[in-house]
Amino acid sequence: SKAVKSVMKNGINVYASQETFDAQGVTDDQAEWHANTLDGIDVGDGTRYAILNLDSFDVLPFKVQHDVPCLGFVIREKATGEYLLFATDFFCLEQRFPYLFSIVALACSYDKDVLQRRVDEKTIDESLAKRLLFSHPSKQWLMGYLQDHVDLSKCRALYLLHCSAGNLNKEATRKEIQEEFYIDTY
């Protein structure tokens, strides 16, 4: 979000929450540079966002819990009617969506056991480890969320995003999730 002004000055449309524009100091006169505030419909948490109709896609933003304002997205391809669930910067999602997702792409930033081992071995600063706990999702959280909150009956692919190389064995996690859900995992 730090480059939002220069991106807009270069003629690229930016879609963001008003909080993001405010945090980056985008003024009303600068907003004419291609700023598109996402507001309009209530997504169940008292916040209102618009469904964007972008050529062949409909995009529904939703608020996520993070240490700074962030959004996740439900994206529907109009031609196929398929849905994608996408979110990277969050530590927890509470939403249950009424969609059968074809693709789920969510952050899986660390494994709690690996993180604890690194704290014990003093190979990671304890304050950084604590920040991860309250700003990004663990492998354990992700598996629980997929199990309890997402209907995966039509899902053909799971993508693990925002993986921390030192705090997660991505290949072992990919295999574990693929074996648990019987869905190709990348």
Distance between CA atoms of residues 118 and 111, nearest Å: 11
- The confidence score (pLDDT) of residue 41 equals 47
**Structural contact between residues 79 and 90, judged by C-beta atoms closer than 8 angstroms:** no
Render pLDDT for 101-124 as a digit per residue (tens, 0 to 9): 999 999 999 999 999 999 999 999
Distance between CA atoms of residues 122 and 116, nearest Å: 10
User: Global pTM?
Assistant: 0.86
- The confidence score (pLDDT) of residue 185 equals 99
- The confidence score (pLDDT) of residue 92 equals 87
Q: What mean pLDDT comes out for the span 115-136?
A: 94
4 phi and psi, to 5 degrees?
-55, -40
Rg of the chain (C-alpha set) = 18
Catalogue all structural domains in the chain, each as residue range(s) with its CATH number. 1-37 (no CATH), 40-185 (3.60.15.10)
**Structural contact between residues 134 and 112, judged by C-beta atoms closer than 8 angstroms:** no
29: confidence class by pLDDT, cuts 50, 70, 90 = low
